[in-house]
C-alpha cells in the first residue's frame, strides 16, 4: 500500500453491500481515506450515507464486501470473525449512548476495559483515576450511573474508551443526544484531551459546525450509494475555541460543507 510512514488508518476502495431477501443495498461504494497518526478527522453526511458502516468495518463488527483496510500499514484480517487482541487494544470506541453498567460505579465502569483486556494493574488503575480527574469526575467516581447527569455519563464514556491507552479513538455521534451548550463544552474538553494524549481520532457527526470546530480534515459523504463526495481541509489555527464560530472564515467553511451535503435545514443539525 503506497502511503506515508505516518499513515495510521487507511481505507482502500472499500465497498460494503448488504443482501436482503429482495435486493442488494450498497451501503458504501469505493471509499478511500487516509488518516495520519495524531490527526483529528471527521466524516459528515446525511443519514444513510454509510458513516457508521465505515466505523463498524474498521472495528471488525462488519466485514467489507471488497477493498482493504489498514492500521499502521498492516492489512486488517477481515476474514477473521474477530480482530486480534493486539489490534483491538489500539482502538477505543465512543458511541452516542455511553451504555454504562448500572450496577457498577463510574470508576468501575471506566475501568471495565482493563478487566476485559486483562491489564487491570495498579499502574493502569492510577491512570484511570487521572483520566477521571481530567474530566472533573473525581467527586462522582463512586456514584452510580443513575445518580449523575447525561453530560457526566458522556464524559465517563470518553475516558472509558481511553483507559487502556488506545492509539485510535473511533467516535460515532458521541454528543448528538446532548443539548447545544453541553455538546460545545464536551467538544472543547475532547480537544484538550486530544492535544494532551496525541491520539488519532475519527469523528462521525451530522453537525457541520461541530465538524469544523474539531477537525483538521473533513470527509464529506453522499448517499445512494454511500460514497466520498469531497475532502475539505480545515485551515483554522489551533488551539480551537468557541469564539471561532463567529469568524468569517468559519462561516465560509460552513457554507461550503452545507452545499456539498445538500439542502439541509441547519436548525435540525445544530
Work out how many domains the chain is built from and give that number: 1
Give the integer Cα–Cα distance in Å for 8 and 72: 5
Among candidates 241, 140, 158, 139, which has minimal Cα distance to 197?
Answer: 158
Which residues does 209 contact at the CB level (< 8 Å), separation at least 6? Answer: 245, 254, 270
Please tell me the predicted confidence (pLDDT) of residue 148. Answer: 93
Q: Is 268 inside a domain boundary?
A: yes
Q: Is 236 inside a domain boundary?
A: yes
DSSP-derived 3-state class of residue 56: helix
Residue written as grid cell 445538500: 262
**Over the chain, what is the mean pLDDT?**
87
Does the pLDDT value for residue 2 go beyond 80?
Answer: no
Q: Is 106 inside a domain boundary?
A: no
Among candidates 221, 223, 246, 244, which has minimal Cα distance to 232?
Answer: 221
Residue 176: half-sphere exposure toward Cβ, Cα within 13 Å:
18
- CATH (domain of 35): 3.40.50.300
Does the pLDDT value for residue 210 go beyond 80?
Answer: yes
Quick one: pLDDT band at residue 4, thresholds 50, 70, 90?
low
With residue 209 as reference, give the H or E element that holds it: helix 208-214
Q: Is 264 inside a domain boundary?
A: yes
Quick one: pLDDT band at residue 246, thresholds 50, 70, 90?
very high
237: containing domain: 1-89+202-270
Does the pLDDT value for residue 3 go beyond 60?
Answer: no
Q: Is 100 inside a domain boundary?
A: no
Phi, psi of 148 (to 5 degrees): -130, 170
**To the nearest whole percent, how much of the chain has pLDDT over 90?**
49
pLDDT tens digits, one per residue of 48-76: 888 989 988 887 788 899 999 999 988 88
pLDDT tens digits, one per residue of 8-64: 999 999 999 998 888 888 999 999 999 999 999 999 988 888 898 998 888 778 889
In Å, the largest CA–CA distance within the chain is 54
Q: Is 19 inside a domain boundary?
A: yes
The mean-pLDDT minimum among 120-129, 199-208, 241-250 falls in 120-129
Contact 136, 115 (CB under 8 A): no
pLDDT tens digits, one per residue of 149-204: 988 998 899 889 989 889 999 999 888 777 788 788 888 988 988 988 899 999 99
Q: Please confirm whether the linkage preceding 239 is cis (ω < 30° from 0).
A: yes
Q: Is 107 inside a domain boundary?
A: no
Q: Are strands 40-44 and 200-205 parallel, antiparallel or unpaired?
A: parallel
What's the distance, Cα to Cα, between the start and end of the chain in Å?
Answer: 38
Q: Is 137 inside a domain boundary?
A: no
CA-to-CA separations, 226 to 29, 47, 53, 186, in angstroms, rounded: 6, 10, 10, 29
Amino acid at each position: 500500500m503506497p502511503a506515508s510512514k505516518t499513515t495510521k488508518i487507511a481505507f482502500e476502495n472499500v465497498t460494503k453491500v448488504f443482501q436482503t431477501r429482495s435486493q442488494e443495498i450498497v451501503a458504501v461504494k469505493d471509499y478511500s481515506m487516509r488518516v495520519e497518526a495524531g490527526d483529528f478527522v471527521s466524516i459528515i453526511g446525511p443519514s444513510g450515507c454509510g458513516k457508521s458502516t465505515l466505523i463498524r468495518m474498521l472495528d471488525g463488527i462488519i466485514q467489507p464486501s471488497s477493498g482493504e483496510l489498514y492500521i499502521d500499514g498492516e492489512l486488517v484480517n477481515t476474514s477473521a470473525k474477530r480482530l486480534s487482541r493486539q489490534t483491538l487494544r489500539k482502538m477505543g470506541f465512543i458511541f452516542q449512548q455511553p451504555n454504562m453498567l448500572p450496577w457498577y460505579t463510574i470508576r468501575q465502569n471506566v475501568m471495565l476495559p482493563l478487566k476485559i483486556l486483562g491489564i487491570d494493574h495498579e499502574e493502569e488503575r492510577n491512570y484511570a483515576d487521572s483520566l477521571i480527574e481530567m474530566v472533573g469526575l473525581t467527586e462522582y467516581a463512586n456514584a452510580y450511573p443513575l445518580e449523575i447527569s447525561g453530560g457526566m455519563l458522556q464524559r465517563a464514556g470518553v475516558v472509558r474508551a481511553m483507559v487502556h491507552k488506545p492509539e485510535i479513538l473511533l467516535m460515532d455521534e458521541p454528543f448528538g443526544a446532548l443539548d447545544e451548550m453541553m455538546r460545545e463544552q464536551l467538544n472543547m474538553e475532547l480537544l484538550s484531551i486530544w492535544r494532551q494524549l496525541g491520539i488519532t481520532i475519527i469523528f462521525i457527526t451530522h453537525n457541520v459546525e461541530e465538524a469544523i470546530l474539531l477537525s483538521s480534515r473533513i470527509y464529506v459523504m453522499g448517499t445512494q450509494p454511500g460514497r466520498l463526495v469531497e475532502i475539505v481541509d480545515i485551515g483554522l489555527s489551533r488551539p480551537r475555541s468557541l469564539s471561532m464560530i463567529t469568524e468569517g472564515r468559519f462561516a465560509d467553511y460552513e457554507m461550503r460543507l452545507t452545499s456539498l451535503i445538500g439542502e439541509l435545514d441547519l436548525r435540525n443539525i445544530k
